[in-house]
Amino acid sequence: MSLADRERWNLKYSKGYRTSLHKTLLEFYHLASLGRALELACGTGENAIFLAQKGFQVDAVDISDVAIDVARNKARELNLNINFIVADLDEYPLKEEYYHLVVVFYYLNRTLAAPIVRSLKRGGVLIYETYNRNHLHIRGDFNPDYLLEEGELLRLFKDLQVIHYREEFNVSTFVGRKP
Ligand X SMILES: C[S@@+](CC[C@H](N)C(=O)[O-])C[C@H]1O[C@@H](n2cnc3c(N)ncnc32)[C@H](O)[C@@H]1O
By C-beta, is 3 or 81 nearer to ligand X?
Answer: 3
**Which residue in 107, 128, 157, 174 binds ligand X (CB under 6 A)?**
107
Task: Check residue 19 for interaction with ligand X (CB under 6 A).
Answer: yes
33 Cβ contact list (under 8 Å, min separation 6)? 100, 123
Q: State in Å, rounded, how far the first CA of the chain is from the last one.
A: 33
Contacts 24+ apart (CB under 8 A), 9-16: 9/62, 9/63, 9/64, 9/66, 9/67, 10/64, 10/65, 10/66, 10/67, 13/43, 13/44, 13/64, 13/66, 13/67, 13/70, 14/66
Residue of 7, 11, 20, 158 that binds ligand X (CB under 6 A): 20
Nearer to ligand X, 92 or 98 (CB): 92
- Choose, by CB under 6 A, the member of 37, 48, 52, 63 that binds ligand X: 63
- Looking at the Cβ atoms of 80 and 171, the one nearer to ligand X is 171
Based on the shown chain and the rule CB under 6 A, indicate whether residue 14 belongs to the binding site for ligand X.
Answer: no
2 belongs to the binding site for ligand X (CB under 6 A): yes
Of 130-149, which residues contact ligand X (CB under 6 A)?
Answer: none
